[in-house]
């Protein structure tokens, strides 16, 4: 058994030991899950809208080069600057250079998964820049030195008392566990951050090719602050975030919040279309978009390309029985849940995450929940195939499969095996088995194995008994 | 830089030749949406569900009086306000000043940040979600709807569309409208978070209170 397998087990064991986190994840995912169903009911022709959204995503990805160039042209015409980054390191260097050229020192960030993916904060801080996360949950995570545990609810694993202690220790305020007071403390502190920041960094929910628009969806309003108050605005954009037209964006906006938090619209949907214009003092003087590849073009070249249709709503996390049991940290990557089990190996290499494709029951709840119908179970199966082909699966699974094939190819061997299984079951007197030998013990470690029927189907059939 | 761009485009194009993209059509899909029902009543119901407050007024003059009453009700003495809104509601400046309210139509961000209330117009409302559409343009700056703890928006009922699709369909050119401003925002209820224990809390960065004064006719 390799170390990655062990580390997934360790991570899961750690996650299962945190009872508060387990309860909070259950409550949150239940709420998001039912919220999604209710919100979709309020959308006329929701199924047709999902089909349309899928068609738009599929079409866009199939012409991604053209739409990226169209976006570049439109955004440049607005006075913005487009940068292209092949990988995470190049993206970090680009942002550092923008910061140096603009002479900025204080950076306010709004929540963005792609900046986590390229580990941007650490690089900026290492260069002496101050970076503050301004989404309340991310701010708390940053203060406590913790990693976000859910795409939309980053500190799902903390209680109000935890947050009170973190604020008291890091912000030197009197301890309180009153959520309104805690929120007010964050508002006061972060308002100063917004006003003092000379650079804002955001991700991008969607980029509109025809207008050069960056669309950002937030509930708190930090996205609006970060995109309008600092002198420089830098957008880090995963290469596949494009939609062709404003009307396409309209379709996505009907589905994204409904599928994620169960809202019809989030509090603030910002369409940022270039930097400051004449007579318009309340917009950044400089705006940059960094288009990040970082493994996406490689994903495009194979039979996992469908994952690029994803709009990062998190519906599949909330629907997944595995995610609902273990939470986000156990996945070990920036992205968690079913989409994370595909994205992390696709972007970061299967060798780094050989166990993630197995962190799924393949029940299909993720596919049902996905607003753009991504066939996640099939993608997970293809990744499992790749782990075998790349020699990343444990030796005993290959040996076991060979042994199984050897037995079942000859009727005599097969009959012997079923007779043996029947004998074991008779010995167990119909009780469920709580111990199995060797690698089969992985099953009985956490649950019992049902006994085989004492008689095989064929034997019964020959005996003419029908129950 | 250019080297990176060329390499990414090259990788993309070679990937697109072999990649499996189920459901991808060469042509952009056709977008056609039925017109839904929904106007001022639906808008009011939806925004109130989100703890927004809607005050109905009959005429433009009633809307002006409603603003003044609202300031008296809460005792607000200072407000940021769009120049455009003052132009569109003649007499509003004088009425508020008589009520002892000082008005700011521009200024340094640090000054604007401390005002308790922002008054704006809205170029459209979306009934099915209780959403306001605002654009950052000269005379209607974005911070007025963002920095204060209270946002008061004046909306004409005839600018309400049933939903987002119907609004975009009604525009001569959605791309033209979006391109007209560096910042278009769809505001749906007050600033909110549920990041601590999933407990809904308003006013985390933007306004915690949203009041829409919805007036019906001239």
pLDDT recorded at residue A2? 35
pLDDT recorded at residue A458? 78
**B198/A27 Cβ within 8 A:** yes
pLDDT higher than threshold 50 for residue A1: no
Stretch B19-28: mean pLDDT, rounded? 94
Of residues A10 and B214, more confidence is placed in: B214
Q: How far apart are CA A73 and CA A95, in angstroms?
A: 21
Tokens at A134, concatenated? 């301004």
What residues in B contact A26, CB-CB < 8 Å?
none
pLDDT higher than threshold 60 for residue A464: no
Stretch B47-72: mean pLDDT, rounded? 97
Walk across the sheet containing A106-109 and list its strands.
A81-85, A286-292, A232-238, A199-202, A106-109, A130-133
**A219/B191 Cβ within 8 A:** yes
Collapsing DSSP to helix, strand or coil, B149 comes out as coil
Residue in chain B closest to A293 (alpha carbons) equals B8
Domain layout of chain A by residue ranges:
43-294, 303-389, 395-463
Size of interface A-B (CB pairs under 8 A): 269
- The mean predicted confidence, pLDDT, of chain A is 92
pLDDT recorded at residue A467? 47
Task: Find how far residue A416's CA is from the centre of its chain.
Answer: 47
CATH number of A43-294: 3.40.50.10420
- Percent of chain A topping pLDDT 90: 71
Q: How far apart are CA B141 and CA B119, in angstroms?
A: 11
Tell me the CA end-to-end span of chain B in Å, nearest whole number: 57
Collapsing DSSP to helix, strand or coil, A465 comes out as coil
What's the Cα-to-Cα distance from A412 to each of A30, A141, A154, rounded to whole Å? 50, 61, 57
Where does the pLDDT of residue B8 fall: very low under 50, low under 70, confident under 90, or very high at 90 and above? very high
What ipTM was reported for this prediction?
0.97
Q: How many CB atoms within 10 Å of residue A30?
A: 12
Stretch A121-139: mean pLDDT, rounded? 96
Tokens at A374, concatenated? 């991504």
Q: What is the pLDDT of residues A153-203, one digit of tens each?
A: 788 778 899 999 999 999 999 999 999 999 999 999 999 999 999 999 999
pLDDT recorded at residue B218? 65
Optimal mutation site among A265, A276, A292, A374, interface B, most CBs of chain B within 10 A: A265
Tokens at A423, concatenated? 């004998």
Q: What is the pLDDT of residues A305-329, one digit of tens each?
A: 999 999 999 999 999 999 999 988 8
pLDDT higher than threshold 60 for residue B9: yes
- Range with top average pLDDT, A143-147, B32-36, B158-162, B194-198: B158-162
pLDDT recorded at residue A3? 39
What residues in A contact B13, CB-CB < 8 Å?
65
Of residues A405 and A426, more confidence is placed in: A405
Where does the pLDDT of residue A145 fall: very low under 50, low under 70, confident under 90, or very high at 90 and above? confident
Tokens at A111, concatenated? 């929540």
Stretch A88-109: mean pLDDT, rounded? 97
What residues in A contact B177, CB-CB < 8 Å?
246
* DSSP one-letter string for B72-117: HHHT--EEEE-HHHHHHSTTHHHHHHHTT-EEESS--HHHHTT-SE
Stretch B26-36: mean pLDDT, rounded? 91
pLDDT recorded at residue A99? 98
Q: What is the pLDDT of residues B173-189, one digit of tens each?
A: 999 999 999 999 999 99
pLDDT higher than threshold 70 for residue A375: yes
CB-CB: which of A45, A251, A273 is closest to B182? A273
Q: How far apart are CA A371 and CA A260, in angstroms?
A: 10
**Structural domains in chain B, sorted by start:** 38-217 (3.40.50.10420)
Residue in chain B closest to A149 (alpha carbons) equals B195
pLDDT recorded at residue A447? 85
- The mean predicted confidence, pLDDT, of chain B is 95
Question: How near does any CA of chain A get to the CA of B174, in Å?
Answer: 6
What's the Cα-to-Cα distance from B37 to each of A327, B49, B52, B128, B162, rounded to whole Å? 41, 19, 21, 9, 6
* DSSP one-letter string for A258-283: HHHTS-SS-SEEEEE-SS--TT--SS
The overall pTM is greater than 0.90: yes
Q: What is the pLDDT of residues B109-155, one digit of tens each?
A: 999 999 999 999 999 999 999 999 999 999 999 999 999 999 999 99
Give yes or no for B72 touching A (CB within 8 A): no
- Percent of chain A topping pLDDT 70: 97
Stretch A386-408: mean pLDDT, rounded? 88
CA angle B198, B202, B203 (to 5 degrees): 135
Give yes or no for B172 touching A (CB within 8 A): no
What residues in B contact A301, CB-CB < 8 Å?
11, 14-15, 18-19
Closest CA to A155 of B201, B193, B200, B195: B195
CB-CB: which of A86, A195, A274 is closest to B4? A86
* DSSP one-letter string for A307-357: GGG-----HHHHH-HHHHHH-SGGG-SSS-HHHHHHHHHHHH-GGG-TTGG
Give yes or no for B120 touching A (CB within 8 A): no
- Percent of chain B topping pLDDT 70: 99
Please count the CA atoms within 13 angstroms of the CA of B136 that sit on its side-chain side: 30
Where does the pLDDT of residue A466 fall: very low under 50, low under 70, confident under 90, or very high at 90 and above? low
Where does the pLDDT of residue B1 fall: very low under 50, low under 70, confident under 90, or very high at 90 and above? low
Q: How far apart are CA B195 and CA A149, in angstroms?
A: 12
Give yes or no for B18 touching A (CB within 8 A): yes
Q: What is the pLDDT of residues A200-240, one digit of tens each?
A: 999 999 999 999 999 999 999 999 999 999 999 999 999 99
Q: Is the CATH number of domain A303-389 3.40.50.300? A: no
pLDDT recorded at residue A6? 53
């Amino acid at each position: 058994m390799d170390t990655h397998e062990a580390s997934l087990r360790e991570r899961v064991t750690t996650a299962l030991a945190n009872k508060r986190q387990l309860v909070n994840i259950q409550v949150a995912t239940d709420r998001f899950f039912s919220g999604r169903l209710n919100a979709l009911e309020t959308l006329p022709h929701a199924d047709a809208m999902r089909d349309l959204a899928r068609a738009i995503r599929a079409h866009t990805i199939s012409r991604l080069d053209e739409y990226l160039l169209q976006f570049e042209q439109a955004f440049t015409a607005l006075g913005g600057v487009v940068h292209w980054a092949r990988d995470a390191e190049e993206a970090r260097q680009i942002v550092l250079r923008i910061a140096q050229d603009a002479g900025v020192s204080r950076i306010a960030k709004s929540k963005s998964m792609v900046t986590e993916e390229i580990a941007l904060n650490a690089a900026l801080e290492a260069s002496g820049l101050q970076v503050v996360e301004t989404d309340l949950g991310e701010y708390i995570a940053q203060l406590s030195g913790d990693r976000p545990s859910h795409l939309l609810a980053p500190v799902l694993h903390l209680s109000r008392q935890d947050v009170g202690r973190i604020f008291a220790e890091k912000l030197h305020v009197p301890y309180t566990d009153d959520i309104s007071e805690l929120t007010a403390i964050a508002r006061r502190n972060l308002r100063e951050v917004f006003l003092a920041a000379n650079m804002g960094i955001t991700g991008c929910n969607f980029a509109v090719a025809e207008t050069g628009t960056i669309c950002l969806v937030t509930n708190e309003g930090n996205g609006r602050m970060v995109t309008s108050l600092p002198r420089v605005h830098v957008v880090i954009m995963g290469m596949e975030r494009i939609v062709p037209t404003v009307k396409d964006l309209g379709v996505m906006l009907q589905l994204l919040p409904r599928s994620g938090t169960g809202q019809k619209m989030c509090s603030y949907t910002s369409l940022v279309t270039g930097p400051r214009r004449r007579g318009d003092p309340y917009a950044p003087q400089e705006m940059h978009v960094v288009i990040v590849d970082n493994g996406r073009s490689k994903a495009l070249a194979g039979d996992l390309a469908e994952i690029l249709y994803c709009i990062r709503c998190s519906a599949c996390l909330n629907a997944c029985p595995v995610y609902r049991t273990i939470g986000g940290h156990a996945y070990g990557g920036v992205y968690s849940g079913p989409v994370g089990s595909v994205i992390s190996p696709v972007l970061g290499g299967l060798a780094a995450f050989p166990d993630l494709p197995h962190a799924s029951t393949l029940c299909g709840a993720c596919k049902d929940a996905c607003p753009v119908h991504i066939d996640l179970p099939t993608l997970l199966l293809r990744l499992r195939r790749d782990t075998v082909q790349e020699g990343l699966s444990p030796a005993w699974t290959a040996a076991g499969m060979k042994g199984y094939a050897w037995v079942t190819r000859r009727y005599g061997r097969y009959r012997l095996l079923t007779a043996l299984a029947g004998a074991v079951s008779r010995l167990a007197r119909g009780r469920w088995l709580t111990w199995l030998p060797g690698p089969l013990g992985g099953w009985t470690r956490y649950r019992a194995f049902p006994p085989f029927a004492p008689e095989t189907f064929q034997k019964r059939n020959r005996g003419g008994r029908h129950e | 830089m250019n080297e990176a761009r060329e390499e990414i485009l090259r990788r993309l194009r070679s990937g697109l030749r072999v990649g499996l993209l189920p459901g991808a059509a060469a042509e952009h899909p056709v977008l056609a949406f039925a017109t839904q029902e929904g106007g001022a009543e639906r808008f009011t119901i939806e925004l109130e569900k989100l703890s927004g407050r809607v005050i109905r007024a009959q005429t433009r003059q009633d809307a002006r009086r409603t603003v003044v009453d609202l300031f008296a009700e809460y005792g607000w003495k200072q407000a940021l306000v769009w120049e455009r809104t003052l132009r569109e509601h003649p007499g509003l400046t004088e009425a508020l000043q008589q009520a002892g309210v000082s008005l700011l139509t521009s200024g340094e961000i640090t000054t604007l940040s401390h005002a308790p209330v922002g008054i704006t117009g809205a170029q459209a409302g979306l009934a099915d979600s209780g959403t306001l559409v605002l654009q950052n343009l000269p005379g209607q700056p974005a911070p007025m709807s963002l920095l204060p703890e209270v946002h008061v928006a004046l909306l004409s009922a005839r600018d309400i569309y049933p939903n987002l699709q119907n609004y975009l369909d009604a525009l001569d050119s959605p791309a033209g409208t979006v391109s007209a401003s560096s910042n278009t925002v769809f505001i749906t209820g007050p600033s909110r978070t549920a990041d601590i224990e999933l407990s809904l809390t308003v006013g985390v960065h933007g306004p915690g209170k949203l009041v829409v004064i919805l007036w019906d006719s001239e």
